Amino acid sequence: MDHLLEYLEGDRLRTVWQCLDDLQKAAVAEVVHSSETTFPAERFHAKYGRLPDIGSVSRWPRHQHPTALRFFLYASEQGGGVMPGDLEERLEAFAPPPVADKRGRRERTGGSSGPGASPPPRPP
């Protein structure tokens, strides 16, 4: 862990950030500019259409190695990830806010809305 901390000191953090692809940068931005430190995988997938390439998170990877995104999101074998608070604070200095959600989702308040629900009655 000390080696990781040394690697991300000073301007090295920005250098690693610049190596990320656009979707990976969006994943970091979603965490940095939220009130949570956990990567919202389901919400991210719904918003962007796919998940960023995180690579293998297994202790014994067979086909994939971790990507540079693992410097920002530390995870278990289940995927997703958590960003340490001190790292989040440093990234706020240069990670732009995420793009606005353009899906036009409406907030569900219960009732009969959602998949499989009957359409509202037509006016007479």
Q: What number of helices (H) and strands (E) belong to the chain?
A: 5, 2
pLDDT class for 103, splitting at 50, 70, 90? low
**Cβ atoms within 10 Å of 111's Cβ, excluding its own:** 7
pTM flag (> 0.85): no
Measured between alpha carbons, how far is 84 from 55 in angstroms, rounded to an integer? Answer: 19
Determine the pLDDT at residue 58. Answer: 60
Contact indicator for 24, 50 with CB cutoff of 8 Å: no
Q: State mean pLDDT over 63-67.
A: 71
The yes-or-no verdict on residue 104 having pLDDT over 60 is no
Measured between alpha carbons, how far is 35 from 123 in angstroms, rounded to an integer? Answer: 43
